[in-house]
Amino acid sequence: MTASKPSTFLSTSLYAVSGIVSNLNNELLEYVNPEKPTHDHSSVYYKRFFISKFNLGDKTIEAKFSTPMKISNGDTLTVSGYPKGETFQVLAYKNSSQQVSGYENWLVLVLGAIFFLAVAIGLLNSELVAQGAIVPKLFLLGFTLVALYMGYRALLIREAIKLLST
């Protein structure tokens, strides 16, 4: 197993860790969308997250993606992400054995951040905020914080992808 710390993005230290996959455990986290009609059993209304837990050498790795990771026990894998407690959270991976790589779609996060920022700017120019009403100010703060988080997360994923290419 090899580990490197080539990048610190704002306050988050991103690492690239390489090694052989062992103790692979794949899970599916699935929950019902609260807006789902009670009589409809279509799979469209379910949210799914694929969780892969495994070891790379002596490091415990956890990856949560919207699509399953393409890995098997014994694969040579490089992951990039950050430590969180006892585990290492994966933002991007490259499987050298199967010649595949994966990461969450950072572009969707950027577009979502732009949308939430546009809503916040629209609220900023509203008459209610100008009059000093508290509820629109709370919404303004909330939309701004969500936009900043989504933008930050997208930039983290971009930085993690860059770590895999170096």
CATH number at residue 20: 2.40.50
Give the residue, 112 or 36, on which the prediction is more confident.
112
Q: What is the DSSP letter of 137?
A: H
108 Cβ partners below 8 Å, 6+ apart? none
Q: Note down the domain range covering 141.
A: 105-166
Residues 3, 136: Cα–Cα separation, whole Å: 47
Provide the pLDDT for residue 131: 83
- Tens-place pLDDT, residues 2-20: 555 555 656 668 889 999 9
Residues 101, 154: Cα–Cα separation, whole Å: 17
The pTM for the full model equals 0.79
- Tens-place pLDDT, residues 45-102: 666 788 999 999 888 999 999 888 999 999 999 999 998 888 899 999 999 999 999 9
Residues 165, 131: Cα–Cα separation, whole Å: 51
Residues 163 and 112 in one domain: yes
- pLDDT bin (cut points 50, 70, 90) of residue 39 is low
Q: What is the DSSP letter of 43?
A: G
Residues 65 and 140 in one domain: no
Provide the pLDDT for residue 156: 92
The C-alpha angle 12, 70, 2, rounded to 5 degrees, equals 50
Provide the pLDDT for residue 38: 63
Residues 21 and 97 in one domain: yes
Residues 163, 77: Cα–Cα separation, whole Å: 13
